[in-house]
Homo-oligomer: A and B are copies of this chain.
Amino acid sequence: MCSSKTSNSMLSAITRTTIRKNAVAIINLISNALTHSLQSGTPHHHGMGALRLPSLTSLSSAAAAAAPRYYFYRQLCLPFRSVSAAKFSVQSSTFEKELEPTSQKPRLQPKKDRVITPRSQDFNAWYLDIIANAELADYGPVRGTMVIRPYGYAIWEAIQDYLNVKFKETGHSNMYFPQFIPYSFIEKEASHVEGFSPELALVTVGGGKELEEKLVVRPTSETIVNHMFTQWIHSYRDLPLMINQWANVTRWEMRTKPFVRTLEFLWQEGHTAHASPEEAEKEALQMIDVYKNFAYEQAAIPVVVGRKSKVETFAGASKTYTIEAMMGDRKALQAGTSHNLGQNFSRAFGTQFMDENGERQHAWQTSWAISTRFIGGIIMTHGDDAGLMLPPNLAPIQSKSYFLTSGLCQVIVVPIWKKADDKAGVLDAASSVKETLQAAGIRVKCDDAEQRTPGWKFNFWEMKGVPLRIEIGPRDVSNRSVVVCRRDIPGKQGKVFGISMESSTLVAYVKGKLDEVQSSLLESAKSFRDGNIVDVTSYSELKEAIAQGKWARGPWSASDNEEMKVKEETGATIRCFPFEQPEGAKKCLMTGNPADEVAIFAKSY
């Protein structure tokens, strides 16, 4: 984020936070304060032209060249070959350069052996190397855009499949709103927010003609949703109205990072309208709970659930609930939010209903979203120097055929042979093991490609994050057994020899191991998280914790201004007031006044 300071820095920072984080219209109830701050604030966005975007590859850098090869092939056989899976276009665009077409580059370049930057050495470079080498995404030709490649998209499909069912089970219907929003809709909401336009992409020409009114490419859909809701909601009988859409959205972000922050991204946005404030609150809480369960049970990410501070609340919301995840570099990632919008948008748009007493009321509303950013969260929570690490439960719920091409598998079977005599037996055994597991509902692939060595395959599938590898060599065939290797425990420690190929033994063993990997990923993320949250009772303790890169948790009842002071002095923001609160009397770490709650402070993405 921008670190420059302004004369009226606190209010301005509040504004920037709400605008940048939420990118929606600021509603009337806070518009006075905002107008004041914006008039006196510095336009941060325009002074950042010289910043560089991270480049996805760093092959030529000294750091990368010096990095050790991240994984050594086990003793068994064959020469080591590092992963050469990714063919990533190097891109080092700047803000000023809107486009970086790469179609003119030399093609047909030979694949090169690749090394990835160790995570401990440069977390950001490591992250980008994983994305390149696991073939999750590539840069699009327009600055800040991203092509989501099949393996990355398969993760998104897994997220979609799980949430889609949960949304429907909780009574929501999918639908689709147009992405072009009349500029007047945005102005209506944001008329006092001069600072909002920097995030908008505008269509000004359509059908070869200058448009009378320019169109906003949706950054979020509250405005158009309310415009339609006013036509569908008449009486309390039309409520609750509970819908969701899966869509692309566009925010003209200044600093982009694949998955975490891109100019265009994919998300779902839920929008609901209710006849009472209690119902809206219940809905907002229900949906953050759906997100939390997804994070814990599927993605093995031990998010902290809580309520945002007033400063960090979604612009337009009465309350914002959030799930906050600790990444491998200990920065916080806001991984999903659910907003109780109160009557703020319904008042701005006139979304009214006739209640049971025949009186008009404004609807109470919620909205909630999770985006492709979550994929970045999975990478940065579980990945290591060998690559991605995928939780076994993260999978499309659909039929077996669903994951055949690019889908996420739980088990990779690698047949190993040197002598031609051994080949047929090994391949037969591998194929039969695969069939056995598949029949038991385990998502499994067999990598029997002959042009790659087993060592290459081990590295490749570790890079892809497959939870279990089964190795089958000639000796295993004669013993009627296999070797099972856990992705999350490197080397010999994660390897068990002599597991019987006999169907009932093997299936039970593999299912048990998958469960173990799933809980182990969650447990290790949990202990990493808990080991990096420091309970603080004073501002100096908070500063020390943040300076060490940790999260600080402490009682807080101070003002918005004091919250902003913390941000300016430490770079940390209140991530949330967690739902789980310690008991007993507390004193505000900043003021010493009584405090009802502890807050968590951290630096964030």
> Which of A37-56 touch B at CB < 8 Å?
45-46
Q: What residues of B have a CB within 8 angstroms of the CB of A197 in the complex?
A: 208
User: Nearest chain B CB to A94's CB is how many angstroms away?
Assistant: 12
User: Nearest chain B CB to A375's CB is how many angstroms away?
Assistant: 11
Q: What residues of B have a CB within 8 angstroms of the CB of A352 in the complex?
A: 107-108
Please report the C-alpha to C-alpha distance between residue A353 and residue B108 in the assembled complex, in whole angstroms.
7
A108 to B, closest residue via Cβ: B234
The answer to whether A172 and B405 touch (CB under 8 A), given A204-B205, A207-B199, A208-B197, is: yes
Q: What residues of B have a CB within 8 angstroms of the CB of A224 in the complex?
A: 140-141
> Which of A199-234 touch B at CB < 8 Å?
199-208, 211-215, 217, 224, 227-228, 230-234
The answer to whether A228 and B138 touch (CB under 8 A), given A99-B213, A150-B175, A252-B207, is: yes
A194 to B, closest residue via Cβ: B208
Q: What residues of B have a CB within 8 angstroms of the CB of A397 in the complex?
A: 398-399
User: Nearest chain B CB to A180's CB is how many angstroms away?
Assistant: 5
- A142 close to chain B: CB less than 8 A: yes
B178 touches A398 (CB 8 A): no
Q: What residues of B have a CB within 8 angstroms of the CB of A211 in the complex?
A: 98
> Which of A79-113 touch B at CB < 8 Å?
87, 89, 98-99, 101-103, 105, 107-111
A234 touches B102 (CB 8 A): no
Q: What residues of B have a CB within 8 angstroms of the CB of A404 in the complex?
A: 168-169, 171
Please report the C-alpha to C-alpha distance between residue A402 and residue B167 in the assembled complex, in whole angstroms.
9
A214 touches B207 (CB 8 A): no
The answer to whether A165 and B205 touch (CB under 8 A), given A150-B175, A176-B148, is: no
Q: What residues of B have a CB within 8 angstroms of the CB of A165 in the complex?
A: 398-399, 401-402
Partner among B174, B200, B208, B233 whose Cβ is within 8 Å of the Cβ of A208 = B200
Which of A175, A217, A235, A353 neighbours the largest number of chain B CB atoms within 10 Å of its CB?
A: A175
The answer to whether A142 and B172 touch (CB under 8 A), given A107-B230, A203-B217, A217-B217, is: no
User: Nearest chain B CB to A269's CB is how many angstroms away?
Assistant: 14
A107 touches B175 (CB 8 A): no
Residues of A within 8 A of B (CB): 45-46, 87, 89, 98-99, 101-103, 105, 107-111, 138, 140-142, 145-150, 152-154, 156-157, 164-165, 168-169, 171-182, 184-185, 197-208, 211-215, 217, 224, 227-228, 230-235, 237, 242-243, 247-248, 250, 252, 254, 263-264, 266, 349-350, 352-354, 360, 397-399, 401-407, 451
